[in-house]
A and B are shown apart, each in its own frame.
Chain A
Amino acid sequence: MKKTIVGVLAATLLMTSACSSSDDDATTGSSAKPGEKVELTYWTWAPNMDKVVEGWNTAHPDIHVTVNKQDGGDPAVTKLLTAIKAGSGAPDVMQAEYQKIPTLVSANALADIAKESGSLKSKFPDSAWNAVTLGGEALYGVPQDSGPMMFYYRTDVFEKLGLQAPKTWDDYAAAARKIHAANKKQYLGTFSATDAGWFAGLSQQAGASWWGINGDTWSVAINDAATQKVAGYWGGLVQEGVIDNKPMYTPEWNAALNDGTQVGWTSSVWGPGVLEGNAASTKGKWKATLLPQWDAASPANGNWGGSATSVTTQSKHKAEAAQFIAWLNTDPAGIKALAGTANVYPASVDSSAALTTPPAFLSNQPDFYTVAAEAAKITKPFTYGPNVNVAYSSYNDAFGKAATSKKAADFTAALTTMQSTTVDDMKNTGFKVAG
């Protein structure tokens, strides 16, 4: 009996000392001795990433990466934050959506790899690089994929009504009216109160940046003029009844895309994959174009989706992890695998070589990736804050009410709710917030 207790105590002591020594290693970058094989774990939810990583493992026998498939961006963040709080269990490398990076940095979950990977800046568009540096000197990941917004529409419906692809948001509104007038059941789109990322992208295009850093103070501008313009515009269309008010990504919405009730979608570069799954019977009838513009003379765009590859603070092999991340996101072989095998749109500026044939669902549009590259180039910078989750869940609730009431005034009022909820939460936690 006594012996077991002593044994357990000894084991515990060993474990604690092992843990504390690993902390020391964490600060020095790597604990690997020369010639020793390093094992890295990588949490990601992109499809087929295990096959992408095989390419790295074959070429780099001394640094072995194991993919641990995650359910998606939100559950992965919850798991990572739990592991960080527990002090162990985090992976070495982690896929992190751009809007989650400030939250993760604030929880001290992501390591600063500026020393290891800072020289990669020129390989990425400014908007993506800004998202991983938060506008400062530190580097919290390397951009992996990006989601420049694009507009998808049914060419057959547009042709029948003699409509052109909308160049401006005024064109879009006119087309929405004409389509709904011709067929009361048809809509050019829907205002989705469950997709805050979609609305953030539309606001980004209009010139909004919901958060900002000024010295050691945060600013919150969810209720700014640009976002108000976007909210008022969509609220007006919903009030008029020419745009639907039901959420996206429901069985109802899938059916509407498939049976021709929804004939347009303001989406992102990954849209064809979703359409292929939801509206397979409409293949060949869709076309992608740039998002309609507020000012056709100076085209702009927003992002919906996209993520970086980051190193966690618990990793004992930060240097090796950074090496793998650089390969994945900047090496031609890595970019090719990301685009061709994982089916993401690589964030790197060199991705055009890997993207020659259009997605299968839009095989009728050979210039798909030329349009996508244009969309990515004009994407405006946008800074996310440390409590994006609070703002987004407030979006769901406030805009859910507005979409139900179908009054344009409620849409702009919902922004006031989002702004105050977000600022109150930051002040309450102790963040320095201007205003």
Chain B
Amino acid sequence: MSALPTSSRTPRTATRRGGRAAAPYSFLAPALILFVAFLAAPIVYAGYLSLRRVKVSGLGLGAGARTEIWAGLSNYSRSLADPDFMPSVYRIGAYGLIVVPTMLGLALLMALLLDAGRTRVGTFSRTAIFLPYAVPAVISSLLWGFLYLPRVSPFTDLVQGLGFTPPDVLSGSWVLWAVANIAVWGGTGFNMIVIYTALRAIPTDLFEAARLDGASDRQIAWRIKIPIVLPSLIMTFVFSLIATLQVFAEPMTLKPLSNTISSTWTPLMKVYRDAFVRNDIYSAAATSVIIAVATFAVSFGFLKLVGNRAFNQED
């Protein structure tokens, strides 16, 4: 406010420059404030909490029995040494091996089919395939949960009518597939749209030239379309990878329906259990930091590995 011109001799440009310098920040301010308040500050606080712990004395009852003390890195070592942690990591590894190739394979296949067809059915099928993505994960898990439970599932009667005994899909060896199925059902549509949009951006003269040279639809898809949409494939792969590392809503919703999903079935479920079941936000914070670092390392590592090649192709 002191920058207001006090005399007529002050060059007007100076004011304007001052105003101009401040302008971007005032435009950025809402975003920056939201970013700091709801992302940066919580991350810093989680990092701080992960280095703290509660120390109880004696019976731990009543006022003053609990004090918060520095824990150093002990929460981290406890998290990594927890006998439930590594199995949950291997489990989402296996889960990712099922979900990511299936989901992206289906998404690519459907995008190519829709792109090749370009018919009126296309609009309907595109919406139909995309629709599950609009269903929240908790709702879709409940829907599928009902379909999985033998006594309430309409499939049981159907399969029994055909003379088979339906397997209990929530039992030991099947449950991973049951959870993966929900993720594939919910995620394929989104990835399909991303790939489909990239396909639509390809100039048609490329296909016409290929067709004149005698290329079949399959060859066009394999030799022209897929290489061109590779960046989209890589992007959807990274998104799917991150979603795999953070899988939570589906197993959490199915958990009460079955004996086979433990409270530490995935790493994020362990975070939830520690924070809200055991009231130990400190080790929950430590495990979250570990998951965040792993997610960063895996996704940026992958992008570094393939990114330069894939993204430079376009230029």
Contacts and interface: CB of A to CB of B under 8 A. Distances in A.
A78 B276 contact: yes
B63 to A, nearest CB: 5
B256 interface: yes
Contacts of B149: 250-252
Contacts of B279: 81, 103, 107, 389
B264 A397 contact: yes
Contacts of B56: 106, 386, 429-431
B15 interface: no
B159 interface: no
Interface string B54-85: 11111111111110000000000010000010
Nearest to B278: A390
B277 interface: yes
A106 B60 contact: yes
A112 interface: yes
A396 B257 CA distance: 12
Interface stretch (A227-235, A241-249, A340-348): A241-249
A256 B150 CA distance: 11
Interface string B255-269: 011111111100000
A138 B152 contact: no
A64 to B, nearest CB: 28
A387 interface: yes
A25 to B, nearest CB: 16
B171 interface: yes
Interface string A97-120: 000001101111000100000000
A136 B62 CA distance: 12
B61 A106 contact: yes
Contact of A432 (B55, B59, B145, B172): B59
Contacts of A349: none
Contacts of B151: 251-252, 255-256, 259, 261
Contacts of B4: none
Contacts of B150: 252
Interface in A236-283: 245-247, 249-252, 255-256, 259, 261
A218 interface: yes
B313 to A, nearest CB: 48
B212 interface: no
Interface string A291-323: 000000000000000000000010000000000
A52 interface: no
B61 A397 contact: no
A389 B78 CA distance: 19
A421 to B, nearest CB: 10
Contact of B61 (A134, A245, A246, A251): A134
Interface residues of A, number: 49
Interface string B170-197: 0110000000000000000000000000
Given A389-B279, A430-B55, A431-B60, A1 B1 contact: yes
Given A1-B1, A261-B151, A404-B259, A213 B62 contact: no
Contacts of A216: 58-59
A429 B60 contact: yes
Contact of A386 (B61, B63, B273): B61
Nearest to B276: A78
Nearest to A218: B59
A141 interface: no
A425 B278 contact: yes
B146 interface: yes
A106 B262 contact: no
B256 A249 contact: yes
Interface in B234-263: 256-263
A389 B58 contact: no
Size band of the interface chain B makes with A: 35 or more
A365 interface: no
Given A108-B62, A431-B59, A431-B60, A393 B278 contact: yes
B291 to A, nearest CB: 20
A193 interface: yes
A147 interface: no
The CB with the most chain B CB atoms within 10 A, among A107, A252, A259, A432, is that of A252
Nearest to A313: B63
Contacts of A107: 66, 279
A106 B56 CA distance: 9
Contact of B65 (A106, A247, A252): A106
A132 interface: no
Most A CB atoms within 10 A — which of B54, B145, B150, B259?
A: B259
A397 B262 contact: yes
Contacts of A105: 61-62
Contacts of A252: 149-152, 257
Interface string B268-306: 000001001111000000000000000000000000000
Which residue, A138, A250, A401, A404, has most C-beta atoms of chain B within 10 A? A250
A400 B260 contact: yes
B256 A102 contact: no
Interface in B70-107: 78, 84
Contact of B259 (A217, A403, A432): A403
B256 A250 contact: yes
Contacts of A78: 276
A352 interface: no
A57 interface: no
A99 B277 CA distance: 13
Contacts of A247: 256-259
A428 B71 CA distance: 12
A194 B278 contact: no
Interface in A385-435: 386-387, 389-390, 393, 396-397, 399-401, 403-404, 425, 428-432
Closest 4 CB pairs of A and B: A400-B259, A430-B56, A252-B149, A397-B262
5 contacts: A1-B1, A108-B62, A251-B151, A397-B84, A429-B55
Interface of B: 1, 54-66, 78, 84, 145-146, 149-152, 171-172, 256-264, 273, 276-279
Interface of A: 1, 78, 81, 102-103, 105-108, 112, 134, 136, 138, 193-194, 213, 216-218, 245-247, 249-252, 255-256, 259, 261, 313, 386-387, 389-390, 393, 396-397, 399-401, 403-404, 425, 428-432
